Amino acid sequence: MRQEWFEYLQRLGGNTPMILALASGAVGSVITLAWISARDARERKRQRRDTALELALSLESYARTCRTMMHKAAWAASEPVGPTSREASKGVSIPVFAYPDKFQWHVLSRKVISELREYPATVYAAREYVEAFREFGEPIDLCGQVEYECAKAAMAALALARTTRRRHGAATWKPGAKDSAMERELSDFIENAEEKRKASLERRTESTVGRRADAQPFNQALSA
Distance between CA atoms of residues 19 and 28, nearest Å: 14
The confidence score (pLDDT) of residue 125 equals 94
Closest listed residue to residue 97, CA positions, set 122, 72, 114: 122
Condensed to tens digits (0 to 9), the pLDDT of residues 35-83 reads: 454 444 466 677 888 888 899 999 999 999 999 999 999 888 887 766 6
Q: Determine, yes or no, domain membership for 191.
A: no
Whether the CA torsion 22, 27, 30, 35 is positive or negative: it is: negative
Would you say 95 and 69 are in contact if contact means Cβ atoms under 8 Å apart?
yes
- Does some domain include residue 87? yes
- Greatest alpha-carbon span in the chain: 123
* Structural domain range at position 74: 2-180
Number of domains observed in the structure of the chain: 1
Indicate whether 156 belongs to any domain.
Answer: yes
Give the total residue count for the chain: 224
Residue 45 parent element (H or E): helix 16-77
Q: What is the mean pLDDT of residues 74-100?
A: 80
Query: Do residues 157 and 57 lie in contact, with contact meaning Cβ atoms separated by under 8 Å?
Result: no
Higher pLDDT, 209 or 158: 158
Is 117 within the bounds of a domain? yes
| pLDDT value at residue 223 | 55
Domain assignment present for 222: no
Q: How many CB atoms lie within 10 A of CB 204?
A: 10
Whole-structure pTM value? 0.71
